Amino acid sequence: QIAQARARICLFCVSLMESRRMFHFSFDSFYSEFANVLEQLETQFYSEALQKFQTSDFTAAGFSDANVPIQQFTSIQSDESTHTTVLEAAIQSLGSSAISGCNFDFSSVLTDVTTMAPVARLVENVGVGAYLGAAHLITDPVILTDAASIVTVEARHQTMLNVLNTGTAIPAAFDLPLVPQEVLAIAGAFISGCSTGITALPSLTVTNQGAITAGTSLSFQFDGMSSQDTSNLTCQMLTGG
């Protein structure tokens, strides 16, 4: 249920002007530090999943050949670890220091492979969105190129996990950009012990009662916009195809 709810989170856009007001300091340095936290999160998520789940767990989850997801998760974990190393070097080159002290708790979603796999898919979708959402704010062409070289690989992870979760490999012609406040609205629940300097947007809460299946009309509660008319707002699904 946790994975299902997260996989259906949709987010309201934050304007460019609001983002620029929040990031009045060097966004290149901030972006690298923030992205590094996300890459640390991804690295640890896959590391813990691979340590916890055995071949039999993947078989029990319905994978006909358990070696396929295990090999893919292992490869993805290696990529995320490499991204962390590269970003730490970029942070140092900008005269800053990586955010330290972050703890990541995935106990709620590493209960079994059936729960873990959709969350892995969501993690990769959020990663792609985070890089896209930062692109228009990065001023250093070297940092921008580094980010672009990472996001293309994250998109390959995204496609593979879509397939492993029996979804459409490429469900849309465009990916959804996410600014840091939106990223933390989804991933922030896993992070503690450190400050990114960003306040997460309130998450949407699915208010439907009973099982949610294909074709279900969803209703949400969003405390962040209680005084605004929401009748003309639309919702973009982050994953689902």
Which residues in the chain come in under a pLDDT of 50?
A: 1-25
143 Cβ neighbours under 8 A, 6+ residues apart: 28, 31, 32, 90, 94
pLDDT at 55: 97
b/e per residue 15-24 (b: at least 16 CB within 10 A): eeeebeebbe
pLDDT at 238: 66
pLDDT at 4: 41
Assign 3-state DSSP to the chain and report helix, strand, coil percentages, each to 5: 55, 5, 40
* Residue type for position 12: F
As a whole number of angstroms, the distance between CA 205 and CA 224 comes to: 11
pLDDT at 240: 54
Closest to 159 in 3D by CA, of 151, 49, 67: 151
